[in-house]
């Protein structure tokens, strides 16, 4: 076995080990220890910090980072050979007009795409190039690991955040998030009375918010404020004297707005009740002309790819980093993001290999500048 073959085998073994260790949000320690051992075996300092992040400080010309935690879900970890697809399409059918060829090894398991594929690729590239690395916790819930990171260390010169984008995709933008809980109370009364109770008032408020942010279908989702109720409770209080309602809501915020602007608009439609806005993540949109984005385009083209600039409708830790660090950044990683949190989550290992090579190329370019 050649040196390159041994390196590729070790890289895949790290990925499979990380996927094999469950790390649902709040229980990431065992997976962080796996990463710690990997860095220490390669002579790198690594430690688990007070919130559970795995830190491997080194050359801060680039910080390579991804999240350790996953959503729940038991998907048996296994590698299977899938026939009749091109290895570069990650185990999925190639685009229309491109004939599939050969076979591809595919790793199944919770987190293989979101985001242990990107996590392992970042770790391997950090070891090979000497760049700084952080595996963070809590991204799937509240980004507590990323929030701690920006408070606990200075900004690096550049950030490459790990999330699935596909090997040719470069994610430059994410919408933000505004989340809160609407609460209202009204006096109880017979249901035949025409006066609106708290339940009706809550529904009416939310209808006004949805109407406010309504868009024609031609407006891209990334550019819309998307309101979404996520839970609803309402009814008579135990003493029978009042009607109460609570609605947990989320609004996705495009870069055109700040979360404060969206909050003011939503609050302006209140007639009864209040909203406790308890989670805010600002949107982010990076320029395609930064040194990081240029390096990715060059590296992807160098391996025969056609770079795609992406804008994601959700949020990621890049939102947190961009709000606190004034440095260029992108999000990148192997995998089809349609498989995030899915019961058939899987990652083509050939695509994983491609992204490791591209990350190594990009990081070396940036560290040499």
- Under a CB-based contact definition with an 8 Å cutoff, are residues 91 and 85 in contact? yes
Among 86, 92, 114, 139, the one annotated catalytic: 139
Residue with tokens 């930064």: 290
- Judge whether 364 counts as a catalytic residue: no
Residue with tokens 């009814």: 235
Closest CA to 313 of 230, 232, 252, 231: 252
Among 28, 69, 92, 351, the one annotated catalytic: 69
Closest CA to 254 of 327, 315, 318: 315
- Under a CB-based contact definition with an 8 Å cutoff, are residues 178 and 348 in contact? no
Identify the three-state secondary structure at position 129. Answer: helix
Cβ atoms < 10 Å from Cβ of 45: 11
- Judge whether 69 counts as a catalytic residue: yes
- The backbone region for 127, taken as left when phi is positive above 0, alpha when psi lies in -120 to 50, beta otherwise, is alpha
**Angle in degrees, 0-180, between the axes of helices 349-368 and 291-302, rounded to the nearest 10:** 130
DSSP string, 327-342: S-EEEE-SS-GGGTT-
- Under a CB-based contact definition with an 8 Å cutoff, are residues 219 and 239 in contact? no
CA atoms of 263 and 261, how far apart (whole Å):
5
* Cα 128 to the center of its chain, rounded Å: 24
Known catalytic residues are: 69, 139
């Amino acid at each position: 076995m050649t040196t390159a073959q041994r390196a590729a085998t070790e890289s895949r073994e790290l990925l499979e080990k990380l996927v094999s260790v469950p790390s649902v949000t709040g229980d990431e320690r065992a997976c962080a220890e796996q990463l710690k051992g990997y860095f220490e075996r390669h002579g790198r300092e690594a430690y688990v910090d007070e919130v559970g992040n795995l830190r491997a400080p080194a050359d801060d010309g680039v910080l390579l980072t991804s999240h350790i935690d996953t959503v729940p879900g038991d998907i048996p970890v296994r590698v299977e050979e899938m026939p009749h697809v091109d290895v570069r399409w990650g185990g999925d059918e190639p685009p229309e007009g491109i004939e599939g060829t050969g076979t591809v090894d595919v790793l199944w398991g919770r987190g293989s795409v979101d985001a242990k594929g990107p996590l392992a690729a970042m770790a391997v590239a950090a070891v090979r190039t000497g760049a700084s690395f952080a595996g963070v916790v809590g991204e799937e819930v509240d980004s507590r690991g990323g929030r701690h990171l920006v408070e606990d260390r200075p900004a690096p010169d550049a950030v490459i955040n790990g999330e699935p984008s596909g090997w040719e995709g470069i994610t430059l933008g994410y919408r933000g998030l505004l989340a809160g809980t609407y609460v209202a109370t009204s006096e109880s009364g017979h249901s035949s009375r025409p006066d609106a109770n708290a339940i009706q008032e809550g529904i009416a408020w939310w209808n006004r918010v949805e109407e406010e942010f309504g868009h024609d279908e031609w407006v891209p989702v990334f550019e819309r404020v998307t309101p979404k109720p996520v839970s609803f409770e309402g009814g008579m209080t135990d003493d029978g004297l009042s009607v109460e309602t609570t609605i947990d809501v989320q609004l996705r915020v495009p870069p055109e707005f700040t979360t404060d602007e969206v909050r003011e608009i939503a609050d302006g439609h209140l007639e009864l009740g209040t909203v406790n806005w308890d989670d805010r993540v600002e949107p982010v949109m990076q320029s395609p002309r930064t040194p990081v984005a240029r390096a990715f385009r060059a590296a992807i083209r160098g391996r025969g790819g056609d770079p795609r600039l992406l804008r994601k409708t959700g949020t990621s830790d890049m939102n947190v980093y961009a709000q606190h660090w004034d440095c260029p950044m992108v999000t990148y990683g192997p995998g089809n993001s349609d498989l995030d949190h899915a019961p058939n989550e899987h990652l083509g290992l050939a695509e994983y290999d491609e992204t490791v090579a591209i990350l190594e190329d990009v990081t070396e370019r940036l560290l040499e500048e």
